Chain A
Amino acid sequence: MRITCPFCGERELGEFTYLGDAKPVRPVAGASEGEVFDYVYLRDNIAGVMSENWYHGGGCRAWLKVTRNTLTHEISAVEPAAGVGAAKVGA
Chain B
Amino acid sequence: MKYSIFSLARAALSGHKNWQRTWRDATPKDRYDVVIIGGGGHGLATAWFLASEYGIKNVAVLEKGWIGSGNAGRNTTIIRSNYGLPGNTGFYELSMKLWERMEQDLNYNSMVSQRGVINLYHSDAQRDAYARRGNTMRINGIDSELLDLAAVKKMMPFLNFDNARFPVQGGLLQRRGGTARHDAVVWGYAHAASELGVDIIQNCEVTGFVRDANGKVTGVETSRGRIGAGKVGMAVAGSSSRVASMAGLRLPIESHVLQAFVSEAIKPLIPNVITFGAGHFYVSQSDKGGLVFGGDIDGYNSYAQRGNMPVMEDVCEGGMALMPMIGRVRLLRQWGGIMDMSMDGSPIIDKTPVDGLYLNAGWCYGGFKATPGSGFVFAHLLARDESHAEAARFRLDRFRSGAVIDEKGQGAQPNLH
In the bound complex, do residue A41 and residue B252 qualify as a contact, i.e. CB atoms below 8 Å apart?
yes
In the bound complex, do residue B308 and residue A44 qualify as a contact, i.e. CB atoms below 8 Å apart?
no
Say yes or no: is A13 at the interface (Cβ < 8 Å to chain B).
yes
In the bound complex, do residue B309 and residue A43 qualify as a contact, i.e. CB atoms below 8 Å apart?
no
In the bound complex, do residue A43 and residue B252 qualify as a contact, i.e. CB atoms below 8 Å apart?
yes
- Please judge, given known A-B contacts A47-B242, A70-B301, whether A42 and B308 are in contact too, CB under 8 Å: no
- Please judge, given known A-B contacts A12-B309, A13-B310, A37-B400, whether A42 and B304 are in contact too, CB under 8 Å: no
Say yes or no: is B303 at the interface (Cβ < 8 Å to chain A).
yes
CA distance A66 to B290 in the complex (A): 38
In the bound complex, do residue A52 and residue B301 qualify as a contact, i.e. CB atoms below 8 Å apart?
yes
Q: How many residues of B contact A (CB 8 A)?
A: 27
| Chain A residues near B313 (CB-CB < 8 A) | 14
Contact with B along A1-36 (1 / 0, CB 8 A): 100000000001110011011000000000001000
In the bound complex, do residue A12 and residue B310 qualify as a contact, i.e. CB atoms below 8 Å apart?
yes
| Chain A residues near B414 (CB-CB < 8 A) | 20
Q: From residue B401, how far is it (CB to closest CB) to chain A in Å?
A: 10
Say yes or no: is B251 at the interface (Cβ < 8 Å to chain A).
yes
CA distance A17 to B298 in the complex (A): 10
Q: From residue B47, how far is it (CB to closest CB) to chain A in Å?
A: 26
In the bound complex, do residue B303 and residue A70 qualify as a contact, i.e. CB atoms below 8 Å apart?
yes
Contact with A along B216-253 (1 / 0, CB 8 A): 00000000000000000000000101100000001111
CA distance A1 to B312 in the complex (A): 13
Say yes or no: is B346 at the interface (Cβ < 8 Å to chain A).
no
Most B CB contacts (10 A, CB to CB) among A41, A45, A52, A68 go to A45
Q: From residue B284, how far is it (CB to closest CB) to chain A in Å?
A: 27
CA distance A52 to B301 in the complex (A): 9
Contact with B along A47-91 (1 / 0, CB 8 A): 100101000000000000000101111000000000000000000
In the bound complex, do residue B250 and residue A70 qualify as a contact, i.e. CB atoms below 8 Å apart?
no
- Please judge, given known A-B contacts A18-B299, A52-B300, whether A43 and B254 are in contact too, CB under 8 Å: yes
CA distance A38 to B303 in the complex (A): 23
- Please judge, given known A-B contacts A13-B309, A37-B399, whether A43 and B304 are in contact too, CB under 8 Å: no
Of the residues B304, B400, B415, contact of A70 by C-beta under 8 Å: B304
In the bound complex, do residue A41 and residue B343 qualify as a contact, i.e. CB atoms below 8 Å apart?
yes
| Chain B residues near A18 (CB-CB < 8 A) | 299-301, 415
- Please judge, given known A-B contacts A42-B250, A44-B250, whether A14 and B310 are in contact too, CB under 8 Å: yes
Of the residues B241, B302, B308, contact of A43 by C-beta under 8 Å: B241
Residue in chain A with minimal CB distance to B299: A18
CA distance A44 to B255 in the complex (A): 10
CA distance A21 to B252 in the complex (A): 13
- Please judge, given known A-B contacts A18-B415, A42-B250, A43-B241, whether A70 and B255 are in contact too, CB under 8 Å: yes
CA distance A43 to B303 in the complex (A): 15
CB interface residues, B 380-417, toward A, < 8 Å: 399-400, 412-415
In the bound complex, do residue A50 and residue B301 qualify as a contact, i.e. CB atoms below 8 Å apart?
yes
CA distance A90 to B369 in the complex (A): 52
CA distance A45 to B301 in the complex (A): 8
Q: From residue A46, how far is it (CB to closest CB) to chain B in Å?
A: 8
| Chain A residues near B239 (CB-CB < 8 A) | 47
Residue in chain B with minimal CB distance to A54: B300
Q: From residue B253, how far is it (CB to closest CB) to chain A in Å?
A: 6
In the bound complex, do residue A70 and residue B412 qualify as a contact, i.e. CB atoms below 8 Å apart?
no
CA distance A42 to B177 in the complex (A): 34
In the bound complex, do residue B303 and residue A40 qualify as a contact, i.e. CB atoms below 8 Å apart?
no
Of the residues A37, A45, A72, contact of B255 by C-beta under 8 Å: A45
Of the residues A14, A21, A45, A68, contact of B251 by C-beta under 8 Å: A45
Residue in chain A with minimal CB distance to B402: A37
In the bound complex, do residue A20 and residue B253 qualify as a contact, i.e. CB atoms below 8 Å apart?
no
CA distance A13 to B242 in the complex (A): 26
CA distance A47 to B240 in the complex (A): 11
| Chain B residues near A52 (CB-CB < 8 A) | 300-301
Q: From residue A82, how far is it (CB to closest CB) to chain B in Å?
A: 20
Q: From residue A61, how far is it (CB to closest CB) to chain B in Å?
A: 18
CA distance A38 to B310 in the complex (A): 32
CA distance A21 to B300 in the complex (A): 10
| Chain A residues near B412 (CB-CB < 8 A) | 40-41
In the bound complex, do residue B399 and residue A43 qualify as a contact, i.e. CB atoms below 8 Å apart?
no
New contact pairs (5) apart from A43-B250, A52-B301, CB-CB < 8 Å: A44-B241, A46-B301, A47-B241, A50-B301, A70-B255
The 10 closest A-B pairs by CB, nearest first: A45-B241, A14-B310, A41-B252, A18-B300, A41-B399, A42-B250, A47-B303, A70-B301, A41-B343, A1-B308
- 6 CB-based A-B contacts, threshold 8 Å: A1-B308, A18-B299, A20-B301, A41-B252, A68-B300, A70-B301
Residues of B at under 8 Å CB distance from A? 239, 241-242, 250-255, 299-304, 306, 308-310, 313, 343, 399-400, 412-415
